[in-house]
Amino acid sequence: MLQTSNYKPHWVREDFVDFVLAKVNPMWTLRRTMARIDNIEPIADGMIKLTLATNNKFSQYQPGQFVMVTVRVDGVQHQRAYSLVSFPGDSSIVLGIKKQGRVSNYLANDARVGDVIEITPAMGEFTLKKHDHPVLLIAAGSGITPMIPLAKQALERSKLPVTLIYYSRNPAFRAELEALAAKHAHFNLNIIVDSNEKPAFFDEETLDQLCVDAKYRETYVCAAPGLMKATRQIWQKRGWSAQLTQESFLPVTVSDDAQAVPVNFRRSMQEFEGRGNLLASAEAAGLKPSFGCRMGICNTCVCTKVSGAVRNQLTGEINDQNNVQIKLCVSEAVSPVEIDL
């Protein structure tokens, strides 16, 4: 007696289907999110404004989230994270891109209107947490990009005060921010323009002058490491740390004088010296862990720390618990460490 089988051979690879579809229309894919460059506009602060039309694989997003952009440079694919400057419901998505790094320079100098690039769905947790609190936003340079949709959301959801402190030597998106300030009376916009001759620093005096009720605000910071550190120290000193949310899009660098610590990748049966962040240390030892943004935001390099202590290079927090998840790209071993990789 013959028996029917439920087996269905997977004889067509998804990447082959995408290859064939791209011959007809590069925006057509089975699952991948593709975006067509509709406009490239130079703006202030050494940035470009990139306007993208996405295919139907791109779903809704929240203000403050980002996408990973993939481009091919000299035959090699590279990824970089960029905040969405646009607001949910806009007809296009907009990225603000600082001209630094391989991917950013490619998009600024080599990409052309009409090019199709691959992006990820929106991700990230740099989003407004509470709906019944006033908001303080602190940004510097390209850190302004996620603040624009966050400010719009906070202003539209209630009449509670919203304050933005923005440091820049050549402010980007200034017209958009000033239009928001003109439209919403409860928006307090502070653009601080500094220079090499007169650098501006964020300190307690500046905070107390520009936002006297900061202790009651949900605070969001996106900036270079110096400003991030200053806000962490002030909020910790004043007992406000629970109200502070930070995000940085700068890759963590390896210090030349970082102390070497033994690291063991258990499943790979590989031991090496960790010096600086664990991802770079593993790569220097010839290993190839998975990674994406190299900035602690995309979670591609998340793995389980079996034992030992690591320092988060973005926050300074020490994690000495066993069997917990860490991000290799922003974790520095401060004792012998065993990783489940």
pLDDT in tens, the chain (341 residues): 444 445 444 555 777 676 676 777 777 887 789 999 999 999 987 899 999 999 988 988 999 999 989 898 887 778 888 999 999 999 999 999 998 888 899 999 999 999 999 999 998 889 998 888 999 999 999 999 999 999 999 999 999 999 999 999 999 999 999 999 999 999 999 999 988 888 888 999 999 999 999 999 999 999 988 899 899 999 999 999 999 999 876 555 545 455 788 999 988 888 988 888 898 888 888 888 888 777 777 778 888 998 888 988 877 788 888 888 899 988 988 889 999 98
Last residue of a domain, one of 247, 272, 295: 247
Beta-carbon contacts of 45 under 8 Å, excluding residues fewer than 6 positions away, are 98, 141, 142, 168, 169, 170, 171, 172
Give the domain range for residue 27: 14-119
Residue 4 is assigned to a structural domain of this protein: no
Residue 219 is assigned to a structural domain of this protein: yes
Residue 74 is assigned to a structural domain of this protein: yes
Taking a C-beta distance cutoff of 8 angstroms, is the pair 337, 279 a contact? no
Q: Provide the 10 A C-beta neighbour count for residue 2.
A: 4
Q: What is the CATH number of the domain that holds 287?
A: 3.10.20.30
- Co-location of 221 and 307 in the same domain: no
Q: What is the CATH number of the domain that holds 50?
A: 2.40.30.10
- Co-location of 19 and 115 in the same domain: yes
59-95: b (≥16 Cβ within 10 Å) or e? eebbbbbbbbbbbeeeeeeebbbbbbbbbeeeeebbb
Predicted TM-score (pTM) of the model is 0.76
